[in-house]
Every structure is written in structure tokens, then in C-alpha cells.
Structure 1
Amino acid sequence: MKTITNHLVTVLFLSALMVSGNAAAALFGGDDGSVLWKSGNNLYIKYAKQDSDNFGSNDHPVELDPQNIVTVLEELRFQAKKSGLFSSGKEERVFSVTQARRLAEYLAIGLKEAEPNQDIIFTLQKEVSQLLILTDHVFVSGRAFYKDGRLNIIIGDYNRFKNQEYERVYDSSGQLGGAYNFNHGRRSSSANNVPGAVVNMAGIQNKVVNNNPRQDWFVLDIDQAASAIAQQKGERGKEEGGMSREMRLEAARMQKEQRELKLEMARMREQMKNSGGDNGGKSPEERLETLEKLYEQEMISKEEYETKREQILSDI
């Protein structure tokens, strides 16, 4: 009995070591498949074996500023091609703010301990609108690695919708979601899932392979891009601040003019009822100008405009 008890203790001890070892790997690097972050069956950020060595080994480990990564990923955009009802042709974010922040946090942790032959793969989720009313959840999957002084991100699945029928079969509870097989992107071939070229700016561009830009492959000089974005935001803030002051002044001026026109309209209507009366000391030219403004802003009808215009002209 004592031998069996000792054996059970040994098994439990080894199991505890395995659990603690996996936890440590998640924080300090580890074997391929070691998880940095996970939520349910389908959302994760983890280590994976480098998919191809055609471009050489990665420059890992590397330490990057997490805040700079956030700044760049939040502003990473592509120029969507206009197609049908669902693409406006405008710039669109690659990652939502929540996705960008989560990915940045764990990339900074993972790359600090990654091996040269390791990538970090991820699948994240975000909400998208359909028909301007309904919302749905979609997946964005890819891989990241550091090479030649740049953070590289390759997108495999972009805005992949959930398969509701599949999930009903494999997860009847609806709590975890059926486990999907995701495309995490490849160095060797493009997934053609990103619907537009990246919006170029200092430190941000698409990878060029055989003289062809890969829309699914982003090459990011994190420090340079973060600096350019901060400068751009500062200049934009000054412009918006200047515009807002001008707009406030213009709005106040227009409100004052509207009040004056309303008073003038009331006075003119009262005068028309009385068939004459006080002109407020205004010249015919000033009265005609006020009348034009009232009519242009649709504060009086065409009939009222014509009647009053004839009355003013008759006073000349």
C-alpha cells in the first residue's frame, strides 16, 4: 500500500511540474505550441515552428517597446478596393483597437524569449457590422516574427466569419465554439485575403517578393513608425484645434445672424399686414439684401418674397 501511495505522489508531483513548466513557457518562451495567451478553443497567441527558412532564420530573441507596437498596430491600415455594397473603398484598420493591444502585449513578451527558428502565430476576434445594422464576430489569423530590424506580420485568414452550423454540431453549449483550422499565413505564398495594399507611411510597407508587393505581409519598423504616427497625430490635433475654434466662431456668427433674420422676418410680416409702416431706418438696398437672405434660407415663401420685393422697389 505504501508503495502505491508513493507512486501516486510521484505521479502528482511530475504532473505539477509539467503544469508549472507550461506556465513558465507561456511567460518565458518555450517549445513550439507553447501558449502565450488563450481564450476558448479558437482565440490564442502562441509559439510555432518557423513555416519556411527560405528567407533565413529570424533575429530572435528581440526586445521591442510594447507601447510602440500598440501605436503602430492601431494605425495599421489598408486601402480597401471598392466592390459591391460591403466595401466603401476607404481606408480600413487591419486590427481593431482591442486586437492591436492584446497582440502587442504578447508579441513583446513572446519575441523577447523566442528562438530564431520560431514564429508567433495568433487568432483574434473582432466585431464587424453587416448592412449597417447587424453585427457579427470575425477571426483574424496570422504569424509574426522579427527579421532585419523589422517586425513582420503575415495575415492568413482575414475577417473570417464563424460557421454557425459547424459550431452547433461541435459545440452545442455555444460556450467555447467549435475548434477551427486557421490559416496563419505563409512566407512561401500569399493567402490573398487582405483586400487592399497597406497605407504606406514612414516605417510601414508591404513586403516585396520577386518585385511584387504582398498585401498580406506587413513589414514594420516599429520605432520609426511609432515616431511618425505620434508626429502626425500632433499635427492633426493642432489643425483640428484650429478648425474647431474657427468653427465655433462661425457657428456663433451664424446663430446671431439667424436670430436677426428671424426678428426681421417677424417685423416684415407684421409690416405687410399693416400695409406699410416703419422700415427700421434701413435703406431699400439693405432691405432687399435682408429679403434675399430670408428667401435663400427658406424662412419666407416665394409669394412673400415677391410681394415684399415689389413693396421695397416701389419705395425707391
Structure 2
Amino acid sequence: MTAQNPPLLMVEDLSIAFGTEEGTARAVEQVSLRVESGQVVGLVGESGSGKSVVSAAILGLLPNTARVTGSVRFQGTELLGRTESQLRELRGNEIAVVFQDALSALNPVLKVGDQLAEAIRVHDRSLTKKQLHERVVELLDLVGISAPEQRAGLYPHEFSGGMRQRVLIAMGIANEPRLLIADEPTTALDVTVQAQILEVLERIRDRTSTSILLITHDLGVLAGLADRVVVMYAGSKVEDGPVEPIFYRTAHPYTRGLLASLPRVDRRTDRTSRLYRIPGQLPNPHSRPEGCVFHPRCPHAQAARCDRERPQPSVVGDGHVAACLRIEEIG
């Protein structure tokens, strides 16, 4: 990577902690990731693994009580330490976000078309009323909403959950941002609607120059869409690589557990069998275990080693790294 051609987004050694009554909560520890132009990168892990905190740091939306170290560079420019007015110029224009709860994200007393128009007008006041309306209809059509001309005049409660999520995506790409952060965009939607939302994101990737950072707890969501996958556990990055090695040459026991817990139509099981479940639960951010943070739940943990040594990322393939002390032993 040359200095003249930096990644679109580069996060390096990002650590985030919050002071609480119980002490310091370490939400994220030394996480690094990158998103190249035109890429879809998946950020995956259980709820509480720190994924959304990373996205909030990128957008500058962390509370003032957060203690942040490391680096977040967008198009080569450092974002950490920038003023609120400087970040406001980026949000929605260069970097946009799609939240998971569409019903609370949309204003219930404003028509959908008016809310989309407002998102555009905040960053571009040169458009005429007619041009603005045409752009709104174009965006609704792009995200797969039928009869966009008529539906622009409806209120959010007149849309289904999947259609509201499409509206949020349309708002996210309204100003053609370089980076779209989609935070659990398919949560609480049924399987059919989830597939439709993923098709919308794929359409955006193919038709625009927008890169996507897709945050999810479901590796299955990333299978046909992502170029790279970053796996987080308890605030730490445990595996990172192109999507194919992550799925077919998985290196970290936690990633294997996530994959094993996915229902698959090609697995023949009887009615009494259950999906695999990773034993135990995420550690308390106030008292993370010593050594490998995953060792209390890991089936391959080795006493007096995994509970003492903190693993560093090891190269296991072309562009594929994993943080495990026993990668070579467990194969």
C-alpha cells in the first residue's frame, strides 16, 4: 500500500474504554481493520463484542466520557480529535450510517419523501424542488420500493418493516457517500426480507462507488456479499481475512463456533439434534480474563498457556490472520 493510494478507511490499534461506577470498562482493545474503495467488509461477532462501538468511534459519536486511543483515518485524514463541526461535514456526506431500528430512526409525523429530501438538502442546497423530488423517487426506486412516486407521500407507519429499512438505506446513500456503515440492517426481519435487504446492499455496491462496512452477528449474512470479514470477540479482533478463507479455511476456534452454530440445509440432522452452541458467555468488560480472552470458552484452550499468554495476530494465508496461540496445533 503506497502513501499515494491509502485505504478508504484505516483503523489502527483502536482502544476504547468507559469509566463506570464499577470501574473501567474496556469495550474495544487494539482493533485494526481497513476498507478499500469499492469493498464490502463484514464486522461480525456476538452482541457485546464491540462492533457498534467501533462504528461509533469512526463516526465520532462516542460520549465525551469515552477514552479513545489509536487511529481512525478516512481517505488518509485522521478523524480522532476532529471537532464536531468538522465531523458533521463528513457524516451523511462522505460517511453515512444505516441503523438497525428503522421505526425509531424515522420521524413518524413526516412523510418518507420529505425525510429523504431533508437528508439531501442538508448537504446540497443547489437542487430545485423538482430536482429534489426526482432524486427522492430515484433513491426509492434504487432500493427496490415499488411505485416510488406514490410511496414517497406515505408516512413510516404505512410501510412494512422491510420497506422502512430500505428507506433508511436510501437515506444513507442519498448523498453518494464514499463509505456506508450498515449496523445490523437485517436484525428483527424475517428471512425473506433479510434476503431482499442484502440484495439492496449488493445492488448499491454494483451500481455506485460506495464502500460498505456491514456490522452483523450472523456470518451467513456475509457469505455472498462481503469481500473481507473481520471477526471480533469481547472487544478484540480474533480473525481477519478474505471471505472464502474465513468460511472454508477457518483458523480461530471462535469463528469455527460461529459457523457451526448456523443452520444449514446441507446438514442432515434428526429431530432431536440441536445447533451447536458456544459454551459459556462473553466476559464482563470490567474484568476480562488474562491471556487469550476466548480461553474460558475455547474447546482447544491449554492450561498454563492460553490463560497466561495474550495471542498476537499470526499470518495463516494470503491476507488472512488470526490471533490464536494454537493455530498450527489444532489445524
TM-score w.r.t. the length of structure 1 is: 0.19
TM-score w.r.t. the length of structure 2 is: 0.19
Which one scores higher on RCO, CA 8 angstroms, separation ≥ 6?
2
User: Looking at CA atoms only, which structure, 1 or 2, has the larger radius of gyration?
Assistant: 1
